[in-house]
Structure 1
Amino acid sequence: MNYLQEILNFEKLQELNRLAPGQARVWYVLMYLNNITGWQSWFTVASSTLEFRSGLSRQGVIKARNELKQLGYIDFKTNGRSATSYHMKPLTQGSVQPSLQDSLHDSLQGGVQGGVQTSSALYKQNKTNQNTTSNSDSSPATRHKTQQKFADDSVEMQLAMYLFSKIKENNPDHKKLTDSQKQKWADNIRLMIQRDNRAPQKIKNMIDWCQADDFWKQNILSTAKLRKQYDMMAPKANAQWQSNQQRKRVYS
């Protein structure tokens, strides 16, 4: 295996299929250790070594390596109490699977405007149909709300499920959402886009930030909470983003 070529291939893949920072750190550490072993097809690494070199917790290492395996970057086999065996897969374009985050990113970049316009049109149509039905009905009026349906590939539903996936990462035992709850979660995203004028990409960025923050990840457990607390979280999120940008300029 060509060390330099694999790193170049890895960086090219990041342009299309960007990994989370923890995943990338674990991959780089494994590549370095595989190089030390003389590029053995399978090599063993203790979890404590990965934790130390990556800076991640034990749970963070386990999560990152599982995701790298699912995406096609590596393979591994646990050996009971002994060190885990790893195999680095040669990287080429198309050799890895797109992640949920990149699927969402493509949707946001390619179909946000159309998705928002479509959902807005559907919402207005539903309201119009509801009013027509109510006015033409000769029986006594019953107060009810027409439930808007969001498709799985709509921007609203994708952002809602993206938040839920982050919540599940922080708490794997979190209960599943019913179909009705998914629709409500997506509708709150619609309100954020249409009424609060939040750009979908900014909503995604806030989801990433709040679910990485020790305090807010315990409090933002639904899209309703995300919408309610958005302005409360924004100053701290923006301050951290600006600080990160300054550090990048210093070290670049």
Structure 2
Amino acid sequence: MYLNNITGWKSWFTVASSTLEFRSGLSRQGVIKARNELKQLGYIDFKTNGRSATSYHMKPLMQGSVQPSLQGSVQDSLQPSLHDGLQGSVQNSSALYKQNKTKQNKTNNSDKSQATRHHTQQKFADDSVEMQLAMYLFSKIKENNPEHKELTDSQKQKWADSIRLMIERDDRSPKQIKNMVDWCQADDFWRQNILSTAKLRKQYDTMAPRAMKEWQRKQPVTVNFEDDDWFRR
């Protein structure tokens, strides 16, 4: 009903199965089963269009528009999984609308590489390694400068994406990155210059020799430096 409302309550409108899966939390088979049940109950109609999005029709829910034998049977007939999956979708309707608008705006940008589009849309969860390392750097920056502005959600995603690039493209381990964060934010010069994960990535190779030298200088004389790697401790 929400998606039909966005279309201006067209008699027939199309919706991709992936959208229904995302909004309801159901699997592809779950969506197919649910829509078949709704059609049998007389609440919707639909027709498949090959590989294109399926067309849907919302039937009026006014009294008398549904067969008497089916009236009042919705709550008992629909599977609990469908109810749970759809519950809360209205609260997220604004996000879905923005998502759909974004997809429409990107339709004519087919010349851009798929890899680029994938990573710009990628979302990093709060408990992901990338986001945790990004926020770890930010916490160190805040310790050095409590008046530093807070990051927006968009900025947090960009910071996490720079960490992703360090891991995937630069072959840095999460432990190496954390160690470098600790070192640069303790250094009088570099903590004034490394104020983002993008800058951390850019200056990593420049800082690494000095960081290694200082670490080795602090080790006991008996340590065999050829066997110990500060970056992988």
The TM-score normalised by the length of structure 1 is 0.42
Q: Which is greater in Rg? A: 2
The TM-score normalised by the length of structure 2 is 0.45
